[in-house]
Structure 1
Amino acid sequence: MAVIHMTFFSNVLGMTSPVTIVMPQDVQPGEKLPVLYLLHGLSDDDTTWLRQTTLEYQLAKYRMAVVMPNVHRSFYSDMAHGRKYWTYISEELPKIVKAMFPVSDRREDTFAAGLSMGGYGAMKLALAYPERFAAAASFSGALDVRALGNLFEGSEFTDIFGDLEGAKEHRDDLFHLANAAAKSGKELPALYQCCGTEDFLYNDNIRFLNHIKSLGIELTYEEEPGLHEWGYWNMKLPRVLEFLTTAAVKKDAAVSK
């Protein structure tokens, strides 16, 4: 596998931005690889998945490119007082990646996943752009942003989201995005969610799960004993990679019967 550490100037962010990419080093002429956007958590960066898990070893089983951007503590949002990280992650970065690397632009080859804040980001991509993603997965996701105020100090929460609590519908609220996705009539990505039962975000995950079920959206959910830590996420990584690369195929096969 090739591990590529890249920085480029982001016009959206107005600054250079780092990205770590893992991909096969024997790509053939004309080959287009499936691509997974793998997102980091609140206190992490674009290198943490590689440093804390067996990601590179697990990827030897798959021919895909994994793109790991750095969005700092932005919650993958166009911040109320800050930079436009949602526009960066959902629009600019995919264009840069597709222009520079041999990755597919087909929906059936495009996936998103992440942990904690990154789990939120992955579900946000899937629900906001179901026509672009075949599957998405959340590890212990921070999926109910309205309940997260106690994670931040000072004005950081409102700097990111603005008046989230005062808005009945908000562009950064996954519950609102799920409502809109369910009403859209679009085919939705295959969704996967896992969380440890001792995780401090467990109740938030259950609220999101129940809301998704109430809308009739299909979602594969798994839980087992576990905390909000890398041992749990590394243990679930093989399962998530398997889900992402097979769930969309199974869904298409079921529809065609």
Structure 2
Amino acid sequence: MKSILFLVATFFICSTLDAAQVDTLSVFSKRMDKNIKTVVILPEGNKPTSTLYLLHGYSGNYANWVNNVPHIKDLVDRYGYVVVCPDGGFDSWYWDTADKEYQYETFITTELIPFVEAKYGIASERTNRGITGLSMGGHGALYLAFRHQDLFAFAGSTSGGVDIRPFPNNWNIKGRIGAYHDHEKAWNEHTVMELTNLIEPGNLQLFIDCGTEDFFFGVNNKLHEKLSYLNVPHHYLTLPGKHDWKYWSRSIDYQMAFFNQCFQATSKTK
């Protein structure tokens, strides 16, 4: 973790002026037959070669990150990769469900990624893609990365709801996949905690963080313990903080420094 801390410290010393370009797009989803609002933050200067997909939390929307954490534009300019913030619906958890208007796994993995890369001419190798998010989006990022390792080489989560099962009555999860007591199999299949067996050795680099006062702190600790037990390499960071934008405004610095290290390391091997 020392290298990540160093990069974050360097950012605060050498912060750039806000010059990033912010595009708000309407991306049509054929699967859901509707347009999905998406914010794309592009660095000034050289053409970017890598992309970080950054997911919002429950009840949020595509504009949350850029509106609530304005210095994310400085981070984009400093690191030189694109950040894409799609709308994930009020309570989708980034799954495909029985509701045809909630097919967000398909949207991100088969519709959004090729659209963004074609529009902005960004490299399409998996080593040029990362995905992370907060809360529901933290769960969504790991869920998508574990299930689509052909698409993502790097994944993260900040304050992620990485195990949904301790919360059977919260955030309309049961409205998406059924009540836990009637659909236990579906809950196991839709929670990150039970998908760690999908991780292929050496295939994903992971960075997970959570605030020590967060109601998701316990499940994040358990995921960290499980990954350690399974000998899955990962970075795990805990900081003082609650489940709020004050914490996420800090944690995004560590998250984006991590992805910058990943992109830089892979670019040197090509």
Question: Which category describes the TM-score, using the shorter chain as reference length?
Answer: 0.7 to 0.9
Q: How does 1:158-237 map to 2 (within 5 A)?
A: 158-162=174-178, 165-167=183-185, 170-181=188-199, 185=200, 187-237=202-252
Q: Which one of 111, 127, 140 corresponds to residue 108 of structure 1?
A: 127
Q: Which residue of 2 aligns with 1:89?
A: 108
Q: Which residue of 2 aligns with 1:66?
A: 83
Say if 2:154 is the partner of 1:141: no
C-alpha distance in structure 1 between counterparts of 2:37 and 2:140, whole Å? 17
SS in 2 for 1:17: strand
- For structure 1, the 5+ residue unaligned runs are none
Give TM-score scaled by structure 2 length: 0.83
Shift of 1:112: 0.6
AA matched with 1:47: A
AA matched with 2:37: P
Q: Is the 8 A contact 1:190 1:248 kept in 2?
A: no
SS in 1 for 2:195: helix
What are the Cα deviations for residues 189-235 of structure 1, in whole angstroms up to 9, with x where unaligned? 11011111110111111121122222211111011211001111111
Q: Is the 8 A contact 2:129 2:152 kept in 1?
A: yes
Shift of 1:18: 0.5
Q: Which one of 243, 252, 258 corresponds to residue 243 of structure 1?
A: 258
Q: Is the 8 A contact 1:131 1:186 kept in 2?
A: no
C-alpha distance in structure 2 between counterparts of 1:223 and 1:193, whole Å? 9
SS in 2 for 1:149: coil
- For structure 2, the 5+ residue unaligned runs are 1-19
Q: Is the 8 A contact 2:27 2:112 kept in 1?
A: no
AA matched with 2:251: K
Shift of 1:158: 2.5
SS in 1 for 2:25: strand
Shift of 1:251: 8.4
C-alpha distance in structure 2 between counterparts of 1:235 and 1:189, whole Å? 24
SS in 1 for 2:236: strand
C-alpha distance in structure 2 between counterparts of 1:25 and 1:102, whole Å? 15
Shift of 1:163: 5.7
Q: Which one of 3, 9, 26 corresponds to residue 7 of structure 1?
A: 26
C-alpha distance in structure 1 between counterparts of 2:248 and 2:192, whole Å? 22
C-alpha distance in structure 2 between counterparts of 1:87 and 1:49, whole Å? 22
C-alpha distance in structure 2 between counterparts of 1:170 and 1:199, whole Å? 23
C-alpha distance in structure 1 between counterparts of 2:87 and 2:258, whole Å? 24
Say if 2:96 is the partner of 1:78: yes
C-alpha distance in structure 2 between counterparts of 1:163 and 1:150, whole Å? 8
CA-based RMSD: 2.2
What are the Cα deviations for residues 129-183 of structure 1, in whole angstroms up to 9, with x where unaligned? 223222111110010022232323xxx32231236552178442213321122xx
State the percentage of identical aligned residues.
Answer: 27
Q: 1:9 to 1:145 in 2, by over 3 A?
A: same
C-alpha distance in structure 2 between counterparts of 1:106 and 1:21, whole Å? 19
Q: Which residue of 1 aligns with 2:54?
A: 38
AA matched with 2:81: M
SS in 2 for 1:60: helix
Q: Which residue of 1 aligns with 2:5?
A: none
C-alpha distance in structure 2 between counterparts of 1:250 and 1:9, whole Å? 34
